[in-house]
């Protein structure tokens, strides 16, 4: 009896170790996100700002198709408009989701699509304005069907 409980204790212990190690690759991907943002901004600082809004569900039952909507406050005139918005997922195998290229003809800088999310994570949106400034926002999505098969 003591033998079994010792084994159980060991199994539990190794399980804990595995859990502790698991988040590591996710951090690597967050670094990749920072790297992607840097490439997007050309090294310029992206400030957290309320002019960019990211609409995602709080909880997504199916990570295969998660609705996403992004909008940026802007007059969208020929000399003051939103050029691009990049969307990134912090814990997907590849962080890139999509880049929207707007023009002054867009009228409103707003677009929607559906994305895949591997697991519960942050979605990041960074906008480039025609004046050369960068604005970013973040939102967390909880994904129900991920590694555990729902």
List residues near other proteins by CB under 8 A. Answer: 64-66, 69, 76, 89, 92-94, 96-103, 105-108, 110-117
End-to-end CA distance of the chain: 35
Rounded CA-CA distance 69/3 in Å is 56
| 135 exposure class (CB count in 10 Å sphere: 0-12, 13-18, 19+) | buried
Toward other proteins, which CB reaches closer, 40 or 134? 40
Toward other proteins, which CB reaches closer, 90 or 137? 90
CB of 13 to other proteins, least distance (A): 31
CB of 64 to other proteins, least distance (A): 6
CB of 113 to other proteins, least distance (A): 5
Residue 127, phi-psi category: left (phi > 0), alpha (psi -120 to 50), beta (remainder): beta
CB of 29 to other proteins, least distance (A): 12
Toward other proteins, which CB reaches closer, 14 or 113? 113
Toward other proteins, which CB reaches closer, 46 or 70? 70
Interacting residues of 8 by C-beta distance below 8 A, sequence separation 6+: none
Rounded CA-CA distance 1/6 in Å is 9
Rounded CA-CA distance 98/128 in Å is 14
């Amino acid at each position: 009896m003591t033998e079994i409980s010792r084994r159980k204790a060991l199994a539990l212990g190794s399980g804990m170790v595995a859990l502790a190690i698991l988040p590591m690759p996710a951090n690597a991907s967050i670094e990749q996100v920072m790297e992607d943002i840097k490439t997007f901004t050309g090294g310029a600082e992206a400030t957290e700002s309320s002019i960019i809004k990211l609409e995602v569900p709080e909880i997504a039952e199916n990570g295969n198709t998660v609705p996403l909507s992004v909008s940026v406050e802007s007059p969208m005139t020929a000399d003051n408009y939103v050029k691009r918005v990049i969307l990134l997922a912090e814990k997907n195998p590849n962080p890139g989701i999509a880049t929207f290229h707007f023009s002054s003809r867009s009228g409103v800088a707003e677009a929607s699509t559906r994305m895949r999310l591997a697991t519960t994570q942050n979605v990041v949106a960074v906008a480039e304005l025609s004046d050369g400034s960068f604005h970013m926002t973040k939102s967390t999505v909880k994904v129900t069907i991920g590694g555990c098969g729902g």
